[in-house]
Every structure is written in C-alpha cells, then in structure tokens.
A and B are shown apart, each in its own frame.
Chain A
Amino acid sequence: MPPATPATSLLDTRLRVETPEGVDLLLSPASALTRARAFAVDLALRAALSLALLGVLGRLGELGIGLGLILLFLLNWWYMVLFEVLNQGRSPGKQLFGLRVVHEDGTPVGWGAALLRNLLRFVDMLPLGYCCGLLASLANPRFQRLGDLAAGTLVIHQPRAPAAVQLEPMTPLPAPFALSAAEQRAVLAYGERQRQLSPARREELAGLLAPLLGVTAEQAPLRLQQIAADLRGTP
C-alpha cells in the first residue's frame, strides 16, 4: 500500500492512506500527550501486578524470588507486545483511552513491528523516563517515537461510533439545488447538531443559505432542517 499522506493541505493531524481499491482510510495519530495517559495506566497496572507477584512469590524463599524475577522480566518486556499483537494493537491503557497501534499504512500491527517498537523502548527511555521518546514524538509530525519510527508504526485514535442523536420529526423537502457529498454532510450535520448550537447561531448559519433557498432568514433554519430530513430519508 502507498504510504500515508496528510489528509489536507491545511494543518491537520489526519493522514490519508489510499487502499488498492481506491478507498481512502483516514488515520489520526495521537500525540505523546494523549499517549502519556494510556502509558500511565499501563504502568500502574504493571506496577500493581509486579507488587502482587513479588508479595506472593517472596514467601517462597529464593525459589520464589527467582521465579518472580523471571515473571517480572516477562511482564515488563512482553506485556505491551502480547497485548498489541493479540488485542488489535491495544494495551489495556490504550484500550481505555481509545488508542490503537497500527502499521504506517493502517494495517494491524504484527509480531515483528510490535517486538521492534517495544524493544526500542529501551532507547526511548534514555536518559530518564522516556525523555528521548517524548522529544522525538513532539518533534515528529506523525507523533512517532524512535521505536515507532524504526518499526514503522503509528498510534492512532480509534474512530468512535458517533452518539445517536434525537431528531425531531420533520416533513422532508427536497433541496432546490444539487448538493455535493460534502455539502450534503454539512446539511445533515446542521440537522443533527441543533442541540449544540444556540438559537441565534442556528439562525445565523441557516441565514447564510437563505437567498439560495429562496426563503427569509427566519424560515431558513426550518427549511434547512427539512432538507436534512429529506437527505436522511425515511427513518
């Protein structure tokens, strides 16, 4: 697949990946600040697990300590790898905050990339507490730390399903002119975002289109909502 390119010429975090079928996938990489929360959760989880492990195994004497050290090693180095490969690129922290690791072309992360990006945490940690990784990620337009750069991976926001909107029933009216896909989306969004907008702003926005719709500015919001209802089709 071709590499991801910025989605617009304007400043945006989104990347566009075109699949061979000609479908555009939009990826929105997450910055270090967003990922820091997820990492903190993962760190806390691992710390709690380690303490519990040592507490239980410490009672078994030297054998317990030895076993505990092996398990600690596994926990520290394989926790992220296993979760990322087996849980669709999401460690528990990432899952909690809707983040996901994928390859740069949007494909699910595999063993090779997951191992590489997590082994290179060792470099990102230098000299203390992920300073290197933090600076690299803050300086990179795709927010990749060094491990991500080496493994060719991205941490992206998982697209969430939009919340269902309560819509008032409305007599649908066809638009008096042809609308492009983007314009249809805008009209639909106008219909759906009624509650977020103040009445004055609703009227102001619809008033922009009043001359096109052939109605007065006061009637424009209702007309625009009716057009949106028509675009939505029957519920």
Chain B
Amino acid sequence: MPLSDAAVAVRPRSPWEAVDLGVRLAQRHAGLLLASWALLTVPLLAVFSLLLWRYPSVALLLFWWLKPAFERLPLHILSRALFGATPTLGQALRAWPGLLRGELLASLTWRRFSLSRSFTLPLLQLENLRGQARRQRLDALGRRSGVARWLTLLGIHIELLLWTGLLVLIYLLLPTDFASESSWLALLLRPPEEWLWLEHLSNACYALVLVVWEPIYVACGFSLYLNRRSELEAWDLELAFRRLLERLGQASLVLLLSLGLWLPHGAVLAQETEQTAMPVSLAGSATCLLPSEDNPGPQAPRLTHQPLDSQQARREIQALLAAPPFHRVEERIDWGWSAADEPDAPPLIRTPAWLQGATAVIEVLLWALLVAGLALLAWRYRDWLRLFAVRGQTAREADAAPPAQLFGLAVDPRSLPDDLPASVEQLWAVDPRAALALLYRGLLSHLLHQRRLPLRAAHTEGEVLVLLQGLDDPALDAFARRLLDAWQALAYGSRPPPAELGPELCDAWRQLGLNSRAQAGVAP
C-alpha cells in the first residue's frame, strides 16, 4: 500500500480533527457502508426476534452484544477504500465471515466493554497483532487514545438520543384518536404478550439507528488510528520526501553529468568570470542595455537547461491566463439596431466609373454650399457678432480695473513718488531693500497701467518675466530681469545687492522712460 495512493490528505491533525475526518470518510462511502451494515444486521435481528419472540429484551441484548463482530465489516470496507480499492457490496459481505476469525471471542467477552474499542480494532484486524506484540503496539499508539474513549461515550449518548428521537417521531406521527392516552393505557394494561410487538418495533428502531451511527463510529475510530500512526511515523514527511525524490531524481542525474563535464575547466572558468564580471555589472548598473546577442530581451528563450524553460513557462502562463478565472466569457443581451447586425449586402448593379466621379463632384459642391451658407450668415450678422460675441469679452477684460496690490506690494500709481528714480537713489544708500522694492513696485505699476499686462496676485516673479517676453521689448526685458534677480536674491535669500546696482537700474529706468503715470504718447 504506497502512501501516495491514499485517498485522504495526510497531515498532522489534532485527535478531534481526526474524528472530523472520520465523519468525512463515512460520508464519502456512506452508501456502501450503510447498505452493507443494514444487509448484515437487520436480517440477523429479524432472526433473533423470530427465535426469541417472547423475549424481545434478550433479542436486543444479543444483538447489541454482537456489535463488535459487525464492526469489522465497515472497517474492512474503509481500509480498502482508503487506498482506492473500494470493494463492492457483494465482495464486502462475502469477506465478512473471514474477518471474524481473529480473536472474536476476546472481542465479544472481555474486550466488549473496552471504551477504546474502535481505536484498537484496526490493530487486530489490519495489523494482525496478537498477545504480547499487540500490547506493545498499544502502548506505543495508545498514549493518546483518550479521544477514542470520549468517542465511545459520545456514541452511547448519540445512540440513545437517536433511538428515543425516532420513537418520539413515530409517536408524534400517529393519528390523534389512535394515540389518545386512554388507548395507550388500555394497551399497556393488557397482558404483556399482547404488546410484545411494541418492543420488537423499538428493537427495529435501534437497529435502524445503528445503521446510521455505527459506520460513522467505526470510521472515526479508524481515522483516530490512522492519525496516531501518521503522527508517530511522520507519514506526511515520507510523502513530501518521496515527492522531492521524484522531482529531483531525474534532475540530479543531469546535474551530476554536467558537473563531471565541467570540472576540468573549472579553474579556467573561475578566472574568466572574475575578469569579465566587473565591466558587465558596471555597464548593467549604468544603463539599461538594449536587447542584443549578449543580453537577449525578455522574449528570448532563457533557462533552456532546466526542466521548465522560459518558453514552456510562458505557454503555461498564457494557458492559465486564458482559462477561468482570468479569462471570463460573458454573454450579454442588449437592444440594438437590426440593420447594424446585417452584413452589407453586395450592390446589385455595379455603378459605372463616370457616375462615381460625378458623385464625388456633387459631394464637394454640397460641402462648398454649406460653407458658403455659413459664411453668408456670419457676414449678414457681422455687426451683431462683433457687438455681443467678440466685443463682449475683450471689453470686459479691458474694462476690469487693474488690482491696487500685487503680492503685498502697493502698485497703484498714486502710491508711488513722482520722480521714482530720484527716490530710489535717495533710498539706496540708506535701505537697499526698500529701494529695490520701490523699483519693483514701479515696474509692476508700469506694466499694469501703461502696458496693460494682465498681472494677478497669483503670479510669481518668473511668471511676470514670461509675461514680459510677450511684450517683445528686449530692453525692458533685460531691465526687469536684472531687477528681479536682485530682488529675489534679496527678498528670499537675504543676499544684499551690489552697491553699484541701484544707480545703474535708475539710469536704465530713465533711459527706458518708464513711468506708471499716464503720459502723452505712452498711454495707449
């Protein structure tokens, strides 16, 4: 029985999880287990009942006492099914008499009341251990058979519960007039012979309950036994190691061969790699190489000496991506135009070439007519358009009053001195910062009011320069650039401007003829 054929997942489990697995095991083979148990026990109970018709309790006791003998049948089925060799119903029933040979007397006498019965049965039946060997094995296995005892205790309760439940169910389903108390009393008051059938009915119910419960009980005991062995013998590790051996068995052979081939050149190879390794890695870190012969791109076949090379891996990835859940085919029904679904029907009559030329001419003519019509409309309403569409915007922009303050600097012309260069020169010696600020304010005011530059409070110095370029005045641009550089260095970097800058700027100011006040000839 190779472990790899086991139909259950082998992993370390707690004993109670093993019990859960036993329930699953019984579920998997429920049909066979229940049918075989029923075919074995129900006729036997029928025979007992007929033979001991006057003593139904004795029949039940006998039936109950024989349970360990019956339990060998489900265990036989389960042990076969574990390795995939599930017997048929007939095979299982025919095998049962043979299963009774091993220590049946012991099972039915002094071991009948052993609470760990389900756990020890596999030792006897599957391992064929007797006497001293069995005791030693039990010592090794049985240190944690407490759960098996619990299982039997639970089983007693479940049997009683299901049995009573079944009887109550039958009682509840009786018609009311038949089930009235008086008729029951009348029945029970009659001589016992006349309600023997009732006891036999109850016996039958017990047999029915056992049909459901016993296979589960045996399966749970078997699962506990398997779990204990798997724990002691590390079956899961054996499986894992065997798989590893299988996986690497082939590969290691190849590896050994290749090692043998490489060894003579090993030293040379090491030297070569030492010499070449550095430049390659440097080049790799500096730039991303284009795919070439030395450095094939991601599409080129790689890992060709492995069992799974890159191309096969890519194929498998594509196949995986094409299968659900990555690739999903959805069918949707939507309303649509019926004409769109039909393919274009081939034209019945082939149009002559001259006609096609004519249609092209007509198309051009129609488009020209449309454009001409639009142009005519625009001409017809030209005054209206100028008044309301074009004029409206420009007028609004032009009429908007320029702001009186920009970035905290008062740029209103009235706030500036009349002779700005003179004031700046005066201030320069005392307070270069105030002098530069005054110049800057003057420039901004000039730009706002004389040049009508749409400056906003959100503009930065750089943006002011960019806007200035739009005026196409290189001299002003150069002046502004000097001024703003000095201003930025002072305002943000606290770097004082060179001493000669102030007079130079004032000279430039005068040369440019800048002024914020409206003067004749400068105002637009």
Q: Which A residues contact B (CB, under 8 angstroms)?
A: 7-8, 10-14, 28-34, 36-37, 97, 127-131, 134-135, 138-139, 141, 143, 157, 160, 177, 179, 182-183, 185-186, 189-190, 193, 196-198, 201, 205, 208-209, 211-212
* Closest chain B CB from A121 CB (angstroms): 15
Q: Please give me the residue from chain B that is nearest to A140 by CB atom.
A: B27
Taking the nearest CB of chain B, how far is it from the CB of A188, in angstroms? 10
Is B130 on the interface with A (CB-CB < 8 A)? no
- Write 21 A-B pairs (CB below 8 A) sorted by A numbering: A7-B9, A10-B8, A13-B17, A14-B9, A30-B20, A33-B16, A33-B220, A34-B19, A34-B20, A36-B158, A37-B154, A97-B16, A131-B165, A131-B166, A139-B27, A183-B243, A186-B236, A190-B234, A196-B234, A209-B244, A212-B248
**Ranked 6 nearest A-B pairs via Cβ:** A186-B240, A131-B165, A12-B9, A31-B20, A10-B9, A128-B165
Contact present for A208 and B241 (CB under 8 Å): yes
Give the Cβ gap from B286 to chain A, nearest Cβ, in Å.
31
Query: Which residues of A have CB within 8 Å of B240?
Result: 182-183, 185-186
Contact B158 A189 (CB under 8 A): no
Question: Majority SS of interface residues in chain B?
Answer: helix
Q: Which of A12, A33, A139, A177 has the most CB of B within 10 A?
A: A33
Q: Which residues of A contact B19 (CB under 8 A)?
A: 31, 33-34
Q: Would A143 and B23 be within 8 Å (CB), given that A201-B233, A209-B245 are in contact?
A: yes
Cα A129 to Cα B23 with chains together (Å): 20
Interface mask (B380-421 → A, CB under 8 Å = 1, otherwise 0): 000000000000000000000000000000000000000000
Q: In the bound complex, do residue B245 and residue A28 qualify as a contact, i.e. CB atoms below 8 Å apart?
A: no
Q: Which residue of B lies closest to A130 (CB)?
A: B161
Chain B contacts with A in 11-45, Cβ cutoff 8 A: 11, 14, 16-17, 19-21, 23-28, 30
Neighbouring B residues of A197 by C-beta, 8 Å: 232-234
Q: Are B20 and A201 in contact, with the CB atoms below 8 A? A: no
Residues in B with CB closer than 8 Å to A33 are 16, 19-20, 23, 151, 154, 220
Q: Are A205 and B16 in contact (CB under 8 A)?
A: no
Contact in complex: A177, B248 (CB < 8 Å):
yes
- Total residue contacts A-B, CB cutoff 8 A: 139
Inter-chain contacts of B57 with A (CB < 8 A): none
B23 to A31, Cβ gap below 8 A? yes
Closest to B25 in A: A11
**Bound-state Cα–Cα, A127 to B19, Å:** 26
CB contact between A10 and one of B6, B17, B166, B234 (< 8 Å): that residue:
B6
**Chain A hits for B17, CB < 8 A:** 13, 28, 30, 34, 157
List, in ascending order, chain B residues with CB within 8 A of A131's CB: 161-162, 165-166, 169
Q: Is the CB of A193 within 8 A of B244?
A: no
Chain B residue nearest to A2 (CB atoms) is: B325
Docked complex Cα distance between A205 and B240 (Å):
10
- Give chain B's interface residue range (CB within 8 Å of chain A): 35 or more
Expressed in whole angstroms, the minimum distance between the Cβ of B143 and any Cβ of chain A is 11
Tell whether, in the assembled complex, residue A127 and residue B20 are in contact, meaning their CB atoms are under 8 Å apart.
Answer: no
The answer for the CA separation of A96 and B16 in the assembled complex, in Å, is 13
Q: Are B238 and A208 in contact (CB under 8 A)?
A: yes
Excluding A37-B154, A131-B161, 15 further A-B contacts by CB distance (< 8 Å) are: A11-B7, A11-B25, A12-B11, A14-B9, A33-B151, A33-B220, A36-B157, A135-B212, A138-B23, A138-B216, A183-B243, A186-B237, A189-B237, A201-B234, A208-B245
Contact assessment for A196 and B231 in the assembled complex, using a CB-CB cutoff below 8 Å: yes
Q: Which residues of chain A are near B172, meaning CB under 8 Å?
A: 127
Interface residues of B (CB under 8 A from A): 6-9, 11, 14, 16-17, 19-21, 23-28, 30, 150-151, 154, 157-158, 161-162, 164-166, 168-169, 172, 212, 216, 220, 231-234, 236-238, 240-245, 248-249, 251-252, 255
B212, B234, B243, B249: residue with the most chain A Cβ atoms closer than 10 Å: B234
Residue in A14, A34, A130, A208 with the greatest tally of chain B CB atoms within 10 Å? A34
Q: In the assembled complex, which residues on chain A have CB atoms less than 8 Å from the CB atom of B30?
A: 139
A93 CB to closest chain B CB (Å) equals 14
Measured in the bound complex, the distance between the Cα atoms of B21 and A141 in whole Å is 10
Most chain B CB within 10 A, of A29, A179, A193, A205, is at A205
Contact status B16-A157, CB under 8 Å:
yes
Residues of B within 8 A of A31 (CB): 19-20, 23-24
- Chain B residues, CB < 8 A from A157: 14, 16-17
What's the Cα separation between A128 and B16 when bound, in Å? Answer: 26
